[in-house]
Structure 1
């Protein structure tokens, strides 16, 4: 397996949650890590928490001009991870079309813009983050399932189009991250505990679980066009 020592790693969405965990795992493995997101404050806090000389870059993947300028102004990357997303929750008829469009733009088109503009080193890797709803849809999360499936379809095509750059996806299940912090803490605990009861592993996922899967895809040279599901058995339960 390859090493991340002295490789250049960019984590878009690296200021919290899964992205921050990926950045931490990469930095601890000797990589030169840059985290990017829209919030300078969150980036600064995450960089201080991670340490290891992590760099920061304010970047909005909804702004294609800014995305292109960022990649043009930087040297090529050995590894790119895109985990940033903001998607609305709710059923199709309960959600406004504006929220649906914004969700698709954030998670799918945000990743598309980043990968389209990215300058990658030979033998580099790109890892996208989808979600297990692509395989096991929920009546209350139809849009999220469709977006995740679209990301996985994009990944497979890119693995052919961008070769020898390796392109993969990690598909998380229910993960305890700040994504859920917009709901009351009591409700969040109930949600995670309820999910854990139905999982073979008996607990909700942690951001570090997903970081381990991303790390595996970065250092395993025979992995491309693959979806690694890390859902505690949610897709089969």
Structure 2
């Protein structure tokens, strides 16, 4: 079993979904975990749920000054995970350019700002979270696919630039996270059931599935420049 005793882990976007699951997984393995996001109340709820000594920090990755100030005071981390993003979507000809810029600013430039500012231990790791639309494009989510592909390319380049820090990407498919709560319960269940019927895995992903991949990449000294798909086979159907 992986052991992260005495190792420090920062989860940016740790207040819900995949980030919260990753924080819980690292804490269970003995890590000293800090979760960061823009919402203190959500951070407190996740910290209480984990039940370990989890630190919290308010951080807005779209604000360059906020990111720089946070890492100037935070010190060094052994592992950093970036899963924070707010990405409005829709067809290119219908999505307002302001929304498109905001999506890119949040998911791509947010990760870029953190990667630029974070102080990571040599031999430690930086893990980004993209999405399978990078390799399985959708005509209604073109921008999201482009952003995910850009993140994966960024990680490969950073694996060279930041070496011996290891840089990887986890690429999830459809995951049952709070993101989908905006849909009504019936519509959400219908979407999940339809996806499970199509996917080779015959199920919808859970945040813990992605957290397992994040822990794997952080704990494997020979993994860098990699993209790990956790999509139930979504990229091949």
Match of 2:206 in 1: 206
Match of 1:107 in 2: 107
Match of 1:39 in 2: 39
Match of 2:142 in 1: 142
CA distance in 2 between partners of 1:233 and 1:188 (Å): 20
Deviations 1:150-197 (A, max 9, x none): 000000000000000000000000000001111212111111111111
CA contact (8 A) 1:2 1:220 kept: no
CA contact (8 A) 2:2 2:29 kept: no
Compute the displacement of 1:75 (Å). Answer: 1.6
CA distance in 2 between partners of 1:92 and 1:181 (Å): 24
CA distance in 2 between partners of 1:126 and 1:6 (Å): 17
Match of 1:179 in 2: 179
CA distance in 2 between partners of 1:2 and 1:15 (Å): 23
Deviations 1:38-81 (A, max 9, x none): 00000000100011111100000011111111111012000000
Runs (4 or more) in structure 1 with deviation over 4 Å come to: none
CA distance in 2 between partners of 1:102 and 1:193 (Å): 31
Compute the displacement of 1:3 (Å). Answer: 3.0
RMSD: 0.9
CA distance in 1 between partners of 2:89 and 2:186 (Å): 18
What SS class does the counterpart of residue 99 from structure 1 fall into?
helix
What SS class does the counterpart of residue 95 from structure 2 fall into?
coil
Match of 2:123 in 1: 123
CA contact (8 A) 1:2 1:221 kept: no
Compute the displacement of 1:6 (Å). Answer: 1.2
Match of 2:80 in 1: 80
Answer yes or no: is 1:59 the counterpart of 2:40.
no
What SS class does the counterpart of residue 74 from structure 2 fall into?
coil
CA contact (8 A) 1:199 1:234 kept: yes
CA contact (8 A) 1:87 1:107 kept: yes
CA contact (8 A) 2:170 2:227 kept: yes
The alignment's TM-score, normalised by the length of structure 2, stands at: 0.98
Compute the displacement of 1:142 (Å). Answer: 0.4
Q: Point out where structure 1 has 5 or more consecutive residues left out of the alignment.
A: none
Q: Point out where structure 2 has 5 or more consecutive residues left out of the alignment.
A: none
Match of 2:225 in 1: 225
What SS class does the counterpart of residue 176 from structure 1 fall into?
coil
CA distance in 1 between partners of 2:36 and 2:205 (Å): 23
CA distance in 2 between partners of 1:90 and 1:194 (Å): 20
CA distance in 2 between partners of 1:62 and 1:102 (Å): 9
The alignment's TM-score, normalised by the length of structure 1, stands at: 0.98
